[in-house]
Structure 1
Amino acid sequence: MHGVFLYIFEIRKDFLVCFSLSVLYLTYYLVEVVKRPVLHCREGDFRELLEARVPLLREAYWPTPWCVEARLQTVLGSVLRSCLLAPVHYRRYC
């Protein structure tokens, strides 16, 4: 058993680094990113109505694992749309 760990550590350092980073990112994703939505609303009838009629508020949100940050999703979506879709030309009529 000691020989296997020595082999992995000495010969496969790149595998060990990739595996360690993958475990760290997966841990971060599961602990910090996947969460239930936060409802910013004071207590009252409206909040009770939302909690009763919107079942998504009780479920955890699982964002895309490779793009978890909301601002990054916005930037990435804008860049991909500008690269992949044809530009839209607007004309103003008076």
Structure 2
Amino acid sequence: MGWRFMVFWHPLILCPAILLLYRVGFPLIIRVFEGKKKGEAALIKLKGIKTTARLLSANQTGTYINEQPMVLFKVEYIDFQNHTRRAELKKNCKSS
């Protein structure tokens, strides 16, 4: 038969074609449908952005979990759009 046994659905042709489509085709299709803005937003949600915060206050809330006090931290930071933001974080503090 020679090379005539090689049809499109033969594993020697189909497997490399699937791998090539998987590595090149799908990422291109995803980028087209996702758009650049959504990709950046998803990356920010996944990895976050490093910033430095300034501690405004730290007070106990009066709540104890496993005999450890809950502390309310009020912080201020500048986001990636140069807006000053304030946030409140509640954390359990381990006493030493």
TM-score using structure 1 length: 0.30
Instruction: Give the number of the structure whose alpha-carbon radius of gyration is greater.
Output: 2
Relative to its length, the structure with more strand (as a share) is: 2
Normalised TM-score (structure 2): 0.30
Answer 1 or 2: which has greater helix percent: 1
